[in-house]
Chain A
């Protein structure tokens, strides 16, 4: 075992984040609400700081006796996670200010969730997998119910908590079966043990583990919580839910399947493909009947997780890279969507249904163009980011010989195109019921930045993302 100093060097982002969190907790506890601005600003600065450290300053290796992996994949994911968390802190600060309920705990919970996600993407064994997931999820449950006086938010938090606890139970059951039959919690030892021969027990464990993880990425048939939580939770919080935690959970799935069970690809591919197809189907068809925009976006995110899993089922370097590219592009797109939604209100009432958006092109053309761009991107119109994400994912699946699944995924995405088009039609062709509010600056900036990325920055960004995700996919280093 290497010594603790080396280990701590590899875990620098997490160590710094935890230290900052504890410091800011103390500041907040003594200064109260007055400290909200200071705490939020320091949280954003430290999140950007650790993103930089994760990108350039972390040695590659295995720390803490194999339970913490620092490699290109972890660094890639951490940069995305920390930057998205910083955006969430900014959006949340503005939102809480408008509610005049500025609480310093909000950035603290985002910081703790970000730490948990860092632990998740660096997990090298089943214990750090579980601890990372719990740290992240517990913070997210509280965030979902952050507006405790709003019955809908409380309902969302409670539902999320109960179903999340159930999924953690499934996950732990699976983890204990794998530990019992493979004889270790470390992914590399598990891989060696199952190579020698896979028993029924390990496979059962793997099925439960995948079910638990599918809960966390809200893939069908474990998606029941998603529409309710997205509808009830505050919009800036949902913008956070839909981005960073899903990237973390996807990288964790890659880690478990590609590092822990590379020789069982035939077995887990069936499960992943089933989940992927059901997710695409549920996301596309159930989305058609939604009138609430947040519920619609929840189903859209379920469908998107289906596409990612189709790419993941390839089980090779290309598949891993496709997952990372898709998730990176999707995160920016989805955050922009929810930021735009945060910015939209009419007479002080946030727009909730698709009908509320009628005639937006005349009352607020800039926001209408933004949402249209993001919707076209989600539909997969070239050359917007959504197209490139789907391109890599389906290409990986077809190259791995999974073309029937890729076709099914494409059909699903054509069906899903209907509801994005309906949104665009309502915005551009329907009559407006009245003027809309100007919208807060922070949410507008995030939405415009996301739209700017969708077109035309994506062409430059994509070469970078492709380059670095290639390195990151190498880190899984198998097959």
Chain B
């Protein structure tokens, strides 16, 4: 009973918050609603018994991604009113695509209601075999799923190389500290004894 209640409350909050993300006029509010949606989705994961995924969602998405969004939204001077100017113009085609997607989702939801998902199996138990789901993930992540894990690592390497290629600029006039050069400096290199003739300046 309490579980069902919790589910409906959190599901409703997730959906409403997601709508508000798109609908909010102020982009900062959008990000805050996004955080709300993440939190209530994490709550849904807890209800399923997948507390590790719930923590991941909070730590990674709320802690890192959403905060990053917030920074971007607040630091970049984007005129969101201007971005939304073409709204009415694109409404028909956007509405069409959205309508198709919505119809399909409803049909799928009906199909799930009729036959049940996952080839008519019951919902898998997140804590099967007595192991907590962190243990269960740990047991397969570096063994059965090692291939995916390594390949995902390569994707991150692409992201890193890509970010460097597209954004790193070596500016010619920036002075950087070169510790090696500093340490290698000797009194001989650093000092020069200059004989000055009376009445003239120093030539450097």
- Give A residues with C-beta under 8 Å from B: 1, 4, 7, 11, 18, 21-22, 25, 63-65, 67-68, 103, 105, 108-109, 112, 115-116, 119, 127-128, 131-132, 134-135, 138-139, 141-142, 145-146, 148, 157, 177, 180-184, 193, 199-201, 204
B166 at interface, CB cutoff 8 A: yes
Asked whether B155 lies within 8 Å of A200 as measured between CB atoms, the reply is no
Asked whether A138 lies within 8 Å of B159 as measured between CB atoms, the reply is yes
Interface string of B91-121 (1 = CB under 8 A from A): 0000000000000100110011001011101
Contacts of A128 in B (CB 8 A): 147-148, 151
Asked whether B146 lies within 8 Å of A201 as measured between CB atoms, the reply is no
- Give the contact-size bracket for chain B: 20 to 34
| Extra pairs beyond A67-B147, A109-B162, A146-B165 (7, CB < 8 Å) | A22-B157, A64-B144, A112-B158, A128-B151, A135-B158, A183-B118, A200-B107
Contacts of B147 in A (CB 8 A): 7, 11, 63-64, 67-68, 128
A204 touches which one: B104, B121, B157 (CB < 8 A)? Answer: B104
Q: How far apart are the CA atoms of A339 and B139 in the complex, in Å?
A: 50
A-B pairs, top 3 by smallest CB distance, nearest first, are A183-B119, A142-B162, A64-B147
Asked whether A181 lies within 8 Å of B165 as measured between CB atoms, the reply is no
- Give B residues with C-beta under 8 Å from A: 104, 107-108, 111-112, 115, 117-119, 121, 144, 146-148, 150-152, 154-155, 157-159, 161-162, 164-167
Given contact pairs A25-B157, A142-B161, A200-B108, A182 touches B119 in the complex (Cβ within 8 A): yes
Contacts of A108 in B (CB 8 A): 161
Q: How far apart are the CA atoms of A21 and B158 in the complex, in Å?
A: 10
Asked whether A127 lies within 8 Å of B148 as measured between CB atoms, the reply is yes
Given contact pairs A4-B146, A180-B118, A105 touches B164 in the complex (Cβ within 8 A): yes
Pick 18 A–B contacts, CB within 8 A, sort by A: A105-B161, A108-B161, A109-B158, A112-B154, A112-B158, A127-B148, A128-B147, A128-B151, A139-B162, A142-B161, A142-B162, A180-B112, A180-B117, A181-B111, A181-B118, A181-B119, A182-B119, A183-B121
A119 touches which one: B104, B112, B151, B157 (CB < 8 A)? Answer: B151
Q: How far apart are the CA atoms of A138 and B164 in the complex, in Å?
A: 14
Q: How far apart are the CA atoms of A128 and B148 in the complex, in Å?
A: 7
Interface centre among B108, B121, B147, B167, by most chain A C-beta atoms within 10 angstroms, is B147
Closest chain A residue to B115 by CB distance? A199
Closest chain A residue to B104 by CB distance? A204
Q: How far apart are the CA atoms of A275 and B60 in the complex, in Å?
A: 39
Contacts of B162 in A (CB 8 A): 109, 138-139, 141-142
Closest chain B residue to A148 by CB distance? B166
Asked whether B165 lies within 8 Å of A177 as measured between CB atoms, the reply is no
Q: How far apart are the CA atoms of A134 and B164 in the complex, in Å?
A: 19
Closest chain B residue to A179 by CB distance? B118
Contacts of B167 in A (CB 8 A): 148
A103 touches which one: B112, B115, B165 (CB < 8 A)? Answer: B165
Asked whether A115 lies within 8 Å of B154 as measured between CB atoms, the reply is yes
A201 touches which one: B117, B121, B158, B166 (CB < 8 A)? Answer: B117
Contacts of A157 in B (CB 8 A): 166
A446 to chain B, nearest CB (A): 24
